[in-house]
Amino acid sequence: MHRREIPLTLLVLMFISTSEETCTSRLHITAVEGEPFYLKYCSSSSERENKTATIKWYKNESHGPLELSSSSSPRIILLDYVLEFWPVHWNDSGSYSIRMGNDTHDWKLNVIRRPKHSCFTEKQIMSKSVEVKKSLQVACEHGYYQKLVNRTLLYKNCEKIENNQNPFLKKIAEFKDQGYYTCMFFLLHNGKLFNVTKTFNITIVGDNSNIIPALLGPKLTHVKVELGKEVQLNCSALLNEKDVIYWNIWKKNGKDPNVHEEEGTRIRTSEGKRLASKILRIENVNENNLNFSYNCTAVSEGGIDTKSFILLKKEDPVDIPGHIFTRGMIVAVLISVVVVCLVTVGAIYRVDLVLFYRHFLGRDETLTDILAVEVFHKKN
């Protein structure tokens, strides 16, 4: 092959690939009411060579096939192997077929309504998974209507992405990027503006590299419990997707009837790791549950990790015997009564107590008292 022929060959291959992408290959098709819609038949090479075959489109009604033409409705356009609706209506649902000589191809069309408070429908979503910290790309391109696109807007969870002049999202994936991305194409046709939507459900997954399972917390935990009460032991670990976490609760004589392992939870952390937990519920704790090692184990292909919980009886607070408590209360009351009596007596006989105090010390303060009396008389 000459070098000059290579670009031409690549161009032909690209055209064929693009043409096949816009063909309607599925037999059951869903369209959204109010949007432009098309059915396109991908003809074989032999069919393309047979140019004499007449192409006809039909809608199969209950009373028989109804041939479609451009005069059937101003919304319908026939372009050989393509049937276009501008736009598709609710009553367009049904069975359609294309006939080329003796060959026939059929489709089942189901027209649905878009939810009032949503910019997309659940039945027309393309799912895509992107690994965290890898390239996230959302390209708003429409293979069939691209030439008619007047402008394009990009939405995330039906909220317009601001400062996005180019309808093409490319960034390093983060977990907060997960959501529904809707490309809204505005098409200009016969002087009217129509819109077509294309929605991607982007799921951000964690790093695929495996980690060694690691149980959180100390390897040995003592838990103080009260007999007759219930206790819950929580075992948490960082695991890979297929790793398991379980409790080892069997004794020599079998399993305790009051010990129950409950279904755990699995959540994804902001770093992309999986946090798993398992609850061991022990109801009506008894002596048999004390001082026994309840082991929690996490297992993966890369390793194993185990931690233990041991139940200890909570010490009862020291009770004061009743007779000692009663005597203490009596003594406290008597002391209070004596203090009140002393204060009362002191207030009533304070003068006598002062004179007694002077007499006991042997001090003569008569002169001081006389001077105080004279000062009192002068002021009055």
Q: Which are the contacts of 107, defined by CB distance < 8 A and separation ≥ 6?
A: 24, 26, 27, 28, 29, 39, 95, 96, 97
Per-residue model confidence as pLDDT tens digits over 1-33: 444 443 433 333 333 344 445 788 889 999 999
pLDDT at residue 1, rounded to an integer: 43
52: pLDDT confidence band, cut at 50, 70 and 90? low
DSSP bridge partners of 277: 236, 265
How far apart (Å, rounded) are the C-alpha atoms in residues 32 and 115? 10
Count Cβ atoms within 10 A of the Cβ of residue 195 and give its class: 0-12 exposed, 13-18 middle, 19 or more buried: middle
DSSP, residue by residue, 226-246: -TTS-EEEEEEEEE-TT-EEE
Per-residue model confidence as pLDDT tens digits over 195-223: 999 999 999 887 666 677 789 888 999 99
pLDDT at residue 181, rounded to an integer: 95
Per-residue model confidence as pLDDT tens digits over 289-321: 898 889 999 988 777 889 999 999 887 655 556
pLDDT, mean of residues 326-333: 82
Per-residue model confidence as pLDDT tens digits over 128-162: 999 888 999 998 998 899 899 999 999 999 999 87
pLDDT at residue 20, rounded to an integer: 47
The tally of CA atoms less than 13 A away on the side-chain side of residue 265 is: 5
216: helix, coil or strand? coil
Among 36-50, 295-309, 333-347, 364-378, the range with the most confident prediction by mean pLDDT is: 295-309
How far apart (Å, rounded) are the C-alpha atoms in residues 235 and 31? 49
- The pTM for the full model equals 0.53
How far apart (Å, rounded) are the C-alpha atoms in residues 208 and 91? 48
Asked if the model's pLDDT at residue 274 lies above 70, the reply is: yes
